[in-house]
Amino acid sequence: MTKEDKISIGLLGAGTVGSGVLELLQKNAASIAQKVGKQIQVTRIFVRDLEKYAHLAESYALTTDIDDIVNDPQIDIVVELMGGEEPAKTLMLYALAHKKHVVTANKDVVAKYGRELFDAAEANQVDFLFEASVGGGIPIIRPLKQCLAANEIQEVMGIVNGTTNYMLTRMSQQGMDFADALAEAQAKGYAEADPTADVGGLDAARKIAILSSLAFNSRMPLDKVHVEGIEKISKHDIEYAREFGYCIKLLAIAKREGENGINARVHPVFLPVSHPLAAVNDVFNAIFVRGDAIGEAMFYGRGAGKLPTASAVCADIIDVARDIVHKGASRILCTCFEETKICPIEKVANPYYIRLLVADQPGVLSAIAAAFGAQQVSLRTVVQKQRVGEYAELVLITYAVPDSHMRMAMQTLAVLPAVAEVSNIIRVEDPHFS
Ligand code: NAP
Ligand code: HSE
């Protein structure tokens, strides 16, 4: 078969997603060829251990030398599915410099070095696509860049980490504890090799940095995203949430905060059970977008896993292939044409849920109320249900208050003699009280 008959791919990494891409391109080869007008084939695979991947050697040329791929004139597209920052970033830049189109699922690199990669793609007039980097199999990058391009976006909010959503679902529905829920998510292949990025919120932060940059056409640096994980969420918090009509979700949120600019953050929230995102369970992800023309739209599906993620990677491959067939490329590269102010978390207002252990004696409640009152924090609900050892467990829900006020109130509270422990503090994302 000549180069004219087919489009060839050099694949970097044949792990979970890479093997999914090989499987999907084979399984649906005929219909994909019809859609593109040419056959698409992976011809070479870059690995670091030839023996480990010997089972692929019958069908593909394996190599440990990237030059075998970037210098192969038959190869049009390099698909990077190794993950991590390096050597992935350097290899993608190397491929772009050799005028290969690049497709990746790598949010670590896109969130941090997106501009550099877009610039390299533009300079070399090739495509750089990354649909699978956010939301696994859910189409969200292309909708933001293309389908919703006529909108002014006000808000992007979503569940973008499958591991933590799976864990919270298991903790909530089966009463599992944190460690067992994490072990199960790892066994199912949802978690990253190092799950601290999942449970600590960094994986979701990378994704919201990418979504915020696309939605608001203004780069959101990863280090400006406020990040909190789910490590401190306990069964108690989940039970209290349920009692008050909420569930606990790890949300990634990017919003215009008026004149303060754009804020991006990841943290657990109390979410009303009636909210559409509250129904998103297990490994499923969903991204909720509000635009001035479309109103509200929600994108829902499998946010991780071999074939769902391969579905998004293959969609990018097909898009590039169509560009090759129709002799177009780098049509939609960097869309960050603005430099909007970034709003720090201190200026963002939310209601809060606070769980405390306090001395069970007269005057304690009024001292706590006074500490909040001094920072203009108004209390909506106060509940005292159980004793924990010699202390009483006190649960409070506030009205909306800026983060900076809440921090000051908590500092005052923490040194009150009657307060033994601030067990947890979680934001409430409730449209009725924001
Ligand atoms: P994975 O199962 O760990 O596979 C990674 C592959 O890359 C393995 O074949 C690994 O080879 C290879 N690799 C890593 N470093 C290499 C190096 N320096 N040189 C050569 N080969 C190297 O990872 P994955 O889950 O498929 O994830 C791939 C990418 O997709 C990541 O960017 C990830 O964030 C993204 N993603 C994954 C999912 C998911 O559900 N898994 C969902 C969305 C996005 P070895 O076997 O030798 O280590
Ligand atoms: N570890 C990620 C998750 C995989 O749990 O969502 C997809 O990026």
**What does the mean pLDDT of the chain come to?**
94
- Using the Cα atoms of residue 354, residue 359, residue 360 and residue 361 in order, give the sign of their dihedral: negative
Residues 256, 360 within the same domain: no
**Domain finish residue from 258, 292, 325:** 325
Residue with tokens 């978690």: 191
Q: What distance in angstroms lies between residue 75's CA and the mean position of ligand 1's atoms?
A: 21
Residues 239, 314 within the same domain: no
Residues 114, 184 within the same domain: no
Residues 247, 360 within the same domain: no
Residues 207, 241 within the same domain: yes
Question: Does residue 334 fall inside a structural domain?
Answer: no
Ligand nearest to the CA of 62: 1
Residues spanned by the domain of 223: 141-301
Q: The domain spanning residue 417 has which CATH number?
A: 3.30.70.260
Residue of 111, 92, 346 whose CA lies nearest to 213: 111
Residue 142 has pLDDT above 90, yes or no: yes
Q: What's the pLDDT score for residue 420? A: 95
Ligand nearest to the CA of 306: 1
Tokens coding 104 = 């990746």
Residue 417 has pLDDT above 50, yes or no: yes
Residues 224, 282 within the same domain: yes
Give the whole-angstrom CA distance, residue 284 versus residue 138: 10
Residue 51 has pLDDT above 50, yes or no: yes
Q: What's the pLDDT score for residue 203? A: 95
Question: Does residue 89 fall inside a structural domain?
Answer: yes
Question: Does residue 331 fall inside a structural domain?
Answer: no
Q: What's the pLDDT score for residue 167? A: 96
Residues 147, 286 within the same domain: yes
Alpha helices in 326-418 (DSSP H): 364-373, 403-414
Give the whole-angstrom CA distance, residue 364 versus residue 106: 51
Among 164, 198, 285, 313, name the best residue to mutate to test ligand 2's pocket (greatest count of ligand atoms within 8 A of Cβ).
198
**The overall pTM is greater than 0.75:** yes
| Residue of 89, 100, 207, 255 with catalytic role | 207
Q: Is 309 in the pocket of ligand 1 (CB under 6 A)?
A: yes
pLDDT band at residue 302, thresholds of 50, 70 and 90?
very high
Pairing of strands 262-272, 419-428: parallel
Q: Is 52 in the pocket of ligand 1 (CB under 6 A)?
A: yes
Give the whole-angstrom CA distance, residue 292 versus residue 305: 33
Active-site residue 207, yes or no? yes
Among 21, 42, 48, name the best residue to mutate to test ligand 1's pocket (greatest count of ligand atoms within 8 A of Cβ).
48
Residues 195, 282 within the same domain: yes
Q: Using an 8 Å Cβ cutoff, are 140 and 207 in contact?
A: no
Q: Is 163 in the pocket of ligand 2 (CB under 6 A)?
A: yes
Mean pLDDT, rounded, for 400-404: 96
Residues 147, 285 within the same domain: yes
The total domain count for the chain is: 3
Q: What's the pLDDT score for residue 3? A: 57
Question: Does residue 336 fall inside a structural domain?
Answer: no
For residue 342, CA distances in Å to 110, 159, 160, 204 come to 19, 22, 21, 18
What percentage of the chain exceeds 90 in pLDDT?
87
Residues 404, 372 within the same domain: yes
Residues 159, 289 within the same domain: yes
Question: Does residue 35 fall inside a structural domain?
Answer: yes
pLDDT band at residue 220, thresholds of 50, 70 and 90?
very high
Give the three-state DSSP class for 101. Answer: strand
Residue 284 has pLDDT above 60, yes or no: yes
Question: Does residue 153 fall inside a structural domain?
Answer: yes
> Nearest-5° angle of CA 412, CA 416, CA 422?
75
pLDDT band at residue 1, thresholds of 50, 70 and 90?
very low
Residue 38 has pLDDT above 80, yes or no: yes
Question: Does residue 393 fall inside a structural domain?
Answer: yes
Q: The domain spanning residue 49 has which CATH number?
A: 3.40.50.720
Question: Does residue 133 fall inside a structural domain?
Answer: yes
Residue with tokens 């909420």: 246
Residues 158, 132 within the same domain: no
